[in-house]
Amino acid sequence: MLALTLWAGLLGAGPVAAVTVEGMRTHAGPEHTRLVLDLSGPAQWSAFPLANPSRLVIDLNQGTLAYDPARLALAKTTLQGVRSAEKAGGQLRLVLDLTGPHEHTVFALDPVAGMGHRLVVDLRPEGAPPTAVANPSAPNATAARRDVVIAIDAGHGGEDPGALGPGGVREKDVVLAIAERLKAKFDSAPGFRGELIRSGDYYVPLRRRTARARDVRADFFISIHADAFDSPKPRGASVYALSQRGATSESARWLAAKENQSDLIGGVGDVSLADRDPVLAQVLIDIAMTGTLSQSLLAGERVVAALGGKTRLHSRKVEQAGFVVLKSPDIPSLLVETGFISNPEEARLLRTARHQNRLAEAIFEGVQAHLSEAPPPGTLLAWQEGQLAEAPRYKIRPGDTLSTIAARHGVDTAQLKSANKLASDRIRVGQVLIIPRS
């Protein structure tokens, strides 16, 4: 059984402080089960696996149990049960009965975001492949006329609630609701498909988020968050792209540092790329980032403009900062802060379906507009663009109307407007129209 087992508090002098397990809870993600122990204080502990049957043993020094493990929700987890026993010397032993061999990681978390000391146990079935988020029935990325794939990342999740606003509103809930609405909009647009990085209340490590985007062969990556500050006054939405040379402002630098700490809250640490040498990874980023960053900034400008028509803006330009989640060398990426959850008025709005839909609509409009003008190769949009490039042209003469031109060439008026990006039926003499192929 493979495992990463951490030992805490084994160095140093002084007596061991007593600790009580005050609660337990589980989180069932698509790739692992997480068990969280709520503790009265910092703990000294050790963990080791046992086989035949598969178990994980956790020993807490000077530990007591004030929670009944029978109350744990085990549905959809790979836990069969948790047993406890008191051992000599004041040691509390917890035995986790598992459905089979597992890899495990155990780590402690200090108090943060209204939560106290915790011991977190991550369990992954041994040999189980990562859960793919791609739609198996969707066309392959190399197929002609494929959909443009948009990876939509709802920030935080699971043990990491993100920012907390007035009335108990949690960032992780708000951004998942917006992400789901955004996916629905892309799914309903011809030539587009949305893919959620997380589809429920579980945590996904930052590097794994970009890896999942690559798994589904995403053409664009959008990470959705809700901002927060230590004052209730700031408000408004912001759009961020990656900065290769540091943040463009102090607020952007502070925000990137805050969001990058999510891995520590979620419990996996700020790790390097899992499957690449760090030096090689940096070289690849340097080579590829110039093109993707340019596309990110162009799309970001369209998203800022669209957001400005539907909500208050905190910044009227695309900010840049060193977000880990944006560091994908081959996928243009944006991080959208949908508003300040620390502002009472915006916290109220962010909880409403109407405002969530307006935000999703603005993000959709901006990204769709950019990708329609610069479609990725091999996509339906790129094919349509090629068809239009080869399509015949017609120069408007006196007396022409859009409907008569459409009828004369055997095309639909709506097709004619779409091919020429016309917002109305108004045309002018001398204007050249593309005549799409019916």
Reply yes or no on whether the pLDDT at 7 is more than 60: no
Confidence at residue 132, expressed as pLDDT on a 0 to 100 scale: 41
pLDDT band at 188 (very low <50, low <70, confident <90, very high): very high
**How long a stretch of residues is the chain?**
438
> How confident is the model over 62-105, as pLDDT tens digits?
999 999 999 998 988 999 999 999 888 889 999 999 999 998 88
Q: Look at 187 and 248; give whichever has higher pLDDT.
A: 187
* Position 347 confidence tier, pLDDT thresholds 50, 70, 90: very high
- Alpha-carbon gap, residue 336 to 184, rounded angstroms: 18
Per-residue pLDDT for 124 more than 80? Answer: yes
Range with lowest mean pLDDT among 154-163, 235-244, 280-289: 280-289
Describe the crossing of helices 353-373 and 278-308 by its angle, rounded to 10 degrees. 110
Tell me what pLDDT residue 10 has.
39
Contact indicator for 210, 292 with CB cutoff of 8 Å? no
More confident residue, 186 or 271: 186
- In order of their start, the domains of the chain are 3-125 (2.60.40.3500), 148-373 (3.40.630.40), 391-434 (3.10.350.10)
The residue among 192 and 87 whose pLDDT is bigger is 192
Alpha helix ranges (H) inside 326-374? 344-350, 353-373
- 3-class secondary-structure state, position 404: helix
Query: What whole-number percentage of the chain has pLDDT above 70?
Result: 79
* Least confident span in 13-27, 43-57, 192-206, 339-353: 13-27
Residues 150, 218: Cα–Cα separation, whole Å: 6
Residues in Cβ contact with 295 at an 8 Å cutoff, skipping those fewer than 6 apart: 332, 370, 374
User: Among all chains, which residue has been given the structure tokens 């990325």?
Assistant: 141
- Please state which of the ranges 61-65, 239-243, 296-300, 323-327 shows the lowest mean pLDDT: 323-327
Mean pLDDT of 122-132: 67
* Rounded-to-integer distance, Cα 335 and Cα 321, Å: 10
Report the DSSP pairing between strands 148-154 and 220-227.
parallel
At residue 395, does pLDDT exceed 70? yes
| Distances, alpha carbon 185 to alpha carbons 312, 365, 394, in Å | 22, 9, 34
Digit-coded pLDDT (tens) for 166-184: 988 999 999 999 999 999 9
pLDDT at 136: 39
Which of 1-10, 281-290, 358-367 is predicted least confidently? 1-10
Q: Is 397 helix (H, G, I), strand (E, B) or coil?
A: coil
Whole-Å CA distances, 57 to 3, 45, 54: 12, 10, 10
User: Does the pLDDT value for residue 258 go beyond 70?
Assistant: no
Question: 103 - beta bridge partners?
Answer: 124
Least confident of 53-67, 245-259, 371-385: 245-259
Instruction: Share the mean pLDDT of the chain.
Output: 82
* Rama region for 167: left / alpha / beta (φ>0; ψ in -120 to 50; rest): left
User: 274 or 260: whose pLDDT is higher?
Assistant: 260
Question: Token pair of 377, please?
Answer: 């190769």
Has residue 2 got a pLDDT over 90?
Answer: no
Q: How many angstroms separate the first and last alpha carbons of the chain?
A: 61
Q: Looking at 228-341, which runs of residues are DSSP E strands?
A: 238-242, 319-321, 333-340
The pLDDT of residue 220 is: 96
Q: What's the pLDDT score for residue 248?
A: 60
Over residues 300-329, mean pLDDT: 90
- pLDDT for 3 equals 42
Beta-bridge partner residues of 96 = 56, 82
Structure tokens at 432: 């050249």
Write down the residue that tokens 């939509």 correspond to: 152
- CB of 363 within 8 A of CB of 306? yes
337: pLDDT strictly greater than 90: yes
Query: Which residue is listed with tokens 């402002």?
Result: 249
Buried b (16+ CB within 10 A) or exposed e, 204-234: bbbbbbbbbbebbbbbbbbbbbbbbbeebeb
pLDDT per residue as tens digits for the range 269-295? 333 333 444 444 444 445 455 668 889
Question: With 80 as the cut, is the pLDDT of residue 390 above it?
Answer: no
What confidence category does residue 30 fall into, taking pLDDT thresholds of 50, 70 and 90?
Answer: confident
pLDDT at residue 276, rounded to an integer? 40
What pLDDT, on the 0 to 100 scale, is given for residue 180? 97
Highest-confidence segment of 192-196, 282-286, 374-378: 192-196
What is the secondary structure of 133-148 as a DSSP string?
-S-TTSPPTTSTTBPE
Neighbours of 43 (CB within 10 A): 25
Q: What is the pLDDT of residues 245-256, one digit of tens each?
A: 655 665 566 667
Give the span between the Cα atoms of 231 and 233, in whole angstroms: 6
